[in-house]
């Protein structure tokens, strides 16, 4: 998990766990939509994601971490919801369009990948979520879910909860290369698990102001990835404003700006590294977190599934029907 994920939604999840009965999904089934030829890669990432969540501050006694593939109700809900949305509508989803282009599928888009907004609707509604922390790029997914919920409730009666979205303070974190989005597939990320040395190397390679050839040139701060990261991760606001002012006036070089960013990011990540190391030393605890999350996830999602089936008149209980007939 990278810093873009943290500022995109995870930071809000850490805050919300003290106020809500929160569910956090590890979407391994969704990951298979573009990694179906390498399922081992997906399976191997599950425990790493648990480590990332705990390292970031998620408390498993307050938040339930659920493994998607182990909750059958989600798959069943997805099948029902597929009838609530047209193929054209899904393919018009801006996030889906952008990711199809980014992954270079061309005319060979896996049907499962194109339909993953419907699967996400099942992820959300299976736990009756009324608030979903997301990054800016995921807003179309929440709107798609809301459309499906409204369609379902309009057809079958008030059954599903229509969720709202919660945008983070930093809705999108640019990549180290200045690309619009930090992305694992683009290799432009700083990960929550990165070492001090890795952070130092990555920050030193960061894209800055291409119009600035020497430290005495007037620099641009707005849209400059180094300063975007300072705003997100450097709590010393006086230092940040001083760097910005000197950068604009050609009084500081990229080296100093990046050195201070390295220090800020490493200070930000250090508590996460400690929490991660503690949990890594106790693999049985990771298994316990997953087992508990799966058990609770199955219970809650099955209750929602039963409501859905009842609303759709497919909650067949032949013994109940027989007893009614015999009276």
Spell out the per-residue pLDDT of the chain, length 327, in tens: 888 888 778 889 999 999 999 999 999 998 888 888 899 999 999 999 999 999 999 999 999 999 999 999 999 999 999 999 998 998 888 888 888 887 888 888 888 888 989 999 999 999 999 999 988 778 889 999 999 999 999 999 999 999 999 987 766 788 888 876 777 777 788 999 999 999 999 999 998 988 888 889 999 999 899 999 999 999 999 999 999 999 999 999 999 999 999 999 999 999 999 999 999 999 999 999 999 999 999 999 999 999 999 999 998 877 564 444 444
Q: Note the pLDDT of residue 323.
A: 41
Domain presence at residue 184: no
Domain presence at residue 36: yes
Same domain, 154 and 263: no
DSSP single-letter state for residue 170: S
Same domain, 80 and 126: yes
Alpha-carbon span 58 to 187, nearest angstrom: 26
Place of tokens 């996460």: 272
Same domain, 251 and 133: no
Same domain, 164 and 261: no
Domain presence at residue 130: yes
Domain presence at residue 180: no
Domain presence at residue 182: no
Domain hosting 246: range is: 194-279
Same domain, 40 and 159: yes
What CATH code is carried by the domain that includes residue 210? 1.10.240.10
Can you spell out the DSSP letters for 187-227? Answer: T---BTT--HHHHHHHHHT----TT--STTS----TT-HHH
What CATH code is carried by the domain that includes residue 104? 3.40.50.620
Q: Note the pLDDT of residue 157.
A: 97
Read off the tokens for 188: 């432009």
Name the residue among 233, 261, 235, 263 with its Cα closest to residue 247: 261
Question: Does residue 137 contact residue 110 with C-beta atoms inside 8 Å?
Answer: no
Which 3 state secondary structure label does DSSP give 268? Answer: helix
Name the domain count of the chain. 2
Question: Does residue 125 contact residue 149 with C-beta atoms inside 8 Å?
Answer: yes
Alpha-carbon span 153 to 158, nearest angstrom: 5
pTM of the predicted model as reported, rounded to 2 decimal places: 0.86
Burial of 197 (0-12, 13-18, 19+ CB in 10 A): exposed
Domain presence at residue 183: no
Same domain, 237 and 314: no
């Amino acid at each position: 998990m990278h810093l873009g994920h943290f500022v995109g939604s995870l930071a809000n999840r850490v805050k919300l766990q003290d106020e809500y009965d929160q569910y956090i999904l590890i979407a391994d089934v969704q990951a298979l939509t573009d990694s179906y030829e390498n399922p081992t890669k997906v399976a191997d990432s599950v425990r790493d994601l648990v480590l990332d969540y705990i390292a970031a501050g998620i408390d498993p006694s307050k938040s339930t971490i659920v493994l998607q593939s182990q909750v059958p109700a989600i798959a069943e809900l997805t099948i029902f919801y597929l009838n609530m949305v047209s193929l054209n509508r899904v393919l018009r989803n801006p996030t889906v369009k952008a990711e199809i282009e980014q992954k270079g599928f061309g005319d060979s888009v896996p049907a499962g990948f194109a339909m993953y907004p419907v699967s996400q609707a099942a992820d959300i509604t299976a736990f009756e979520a009324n608030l979903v922390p997301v990054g800016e790029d995921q807003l179309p997914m929440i709107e798609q879910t809301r459309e499906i919920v409204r369609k379902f409730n309009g057809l079958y009666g008030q059954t599903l909860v229509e969720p709202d979205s919660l945008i983070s303070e930093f809705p999108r974190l640019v990549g180290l290369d200045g690309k619009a989005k930090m992305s694992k597939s683009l290799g432009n990320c700083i990960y929550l698990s990165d070492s001090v040395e890795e952070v130092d190397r990555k920050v030193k390679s960061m894209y800055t102001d291409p119009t600035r050839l020497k430290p005495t040139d007037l620099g641009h701060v707005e849209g400059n990835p180094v300063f975007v990261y300072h705003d997100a991760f450097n709590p010393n606001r006086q230092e940040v404003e001083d760097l910005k002012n000197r950068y604009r006036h050609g009084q500081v070089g990229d080296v100093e700006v990046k050195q201070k960013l390295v220090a800020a990011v490493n200070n930000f990540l250090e508590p996460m590294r400690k929490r991660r190391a503690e949990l890594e030393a106790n693999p049985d605890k990771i298994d316990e977190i997953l087992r508990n999350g799966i058990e609770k996830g199955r219970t809650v999602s099955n209750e929602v599934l039963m409501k859905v089936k009842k609303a759709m008149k497919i909650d067949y209980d032949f013994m109940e029907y027989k007893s009614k007939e015999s009276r």
